[in-house]
Amino acid sequence: MSKWLGFRPHDSAGAAVVDDMLFRFLVDLEVQKARRLRYCVSLVCLAAEVDASETAEPPGPSLTPIVTGHLRGTDVVAPWAPTALVLLLVDAEKTELPAILRRLTSRLATRGWSAGGSCYPQTSTHPDDMLREAVALMHRAKNEGGNRLCVAA
């Protein structure tokens, strides 16, 4: 059963945190709504890089609390691991993603990161394709040296 992992009241700033199953359901609903009302929805996969010399130690703090407070209340975050998460950014076009990621990754201090993004309807029209595209682009960003966002064309 899907569940909220952390709920922020309406009067509190920041994105809601949900599990993976609820996240996918919300992405489907948001894309359907965006199709009717004609606005953009973006997905961003973000992973922090863990230094190879630090692999014997547990990874640093979860990315989730670092980024949720710097997102809007309409956005949703699903943690994938202590150092990876996926973001649902409502009414965010692909041209806005670099500025959003700069704001979020500036809070990661010296940690490296890689991110991939896709946007309905600009780069994909189906939620599953959006997620696959964002994950693939996150891996591409990592392979290209990290500390970058790759967005679908």
| Domain positions in the chain | 4-151
9-27 average pLDDT score: 82
**pLDDT tens profile 109-133:** 656 899 999 999 999 999 999 999 9
What is the torsion angle, in degrees rounded to the nearest 10, for the CA atoms of residue 79, residue 84, residue 88 and residue 94?
A: 180
Q: Is 148 exposed, middle or buried (0-12, 13-18, 19+ CB in 10 A)?
A: middle
Q: What 8-state DSSP symbol labels residue 98?
A: H
Are 97 and 151 in contact, with CB atoms under 8 Å apart?
Answer: yes
Angle in degrees, 0-180, between the axes of helices 127-143 and 20-37, rounded to the nearest 10: 110
Give the model's pLDDT for residue 120.
96
The tokens describing 109, both together, are 């201090």
Give SS3 for 120: strand
**pLDDT tens profile 54-93:** 444 445 557 788 888 889 999 999 998 778 999 999 999 9
For the domain bounded by 4-151, which CATH number is listed?
3.30.70.270
Phi, psi of 79 (to 5 degrees): -75, 140
What is the torsion angle, in degrees rounded to the nearest 10, for the CA atoms of residue 45, residue 50, residue 55 and residue 57?
A: -100
**Nearest C-alpha neighbor of 1 from the set 16, 20, 15, 26:** 20
Q: b/e map of 51-81 (b: 16 or more CB within 10 Å)?
A: eeeeeeeeebebbbebbbeebeeebbbbbbe
pTM given for the model: 0.85
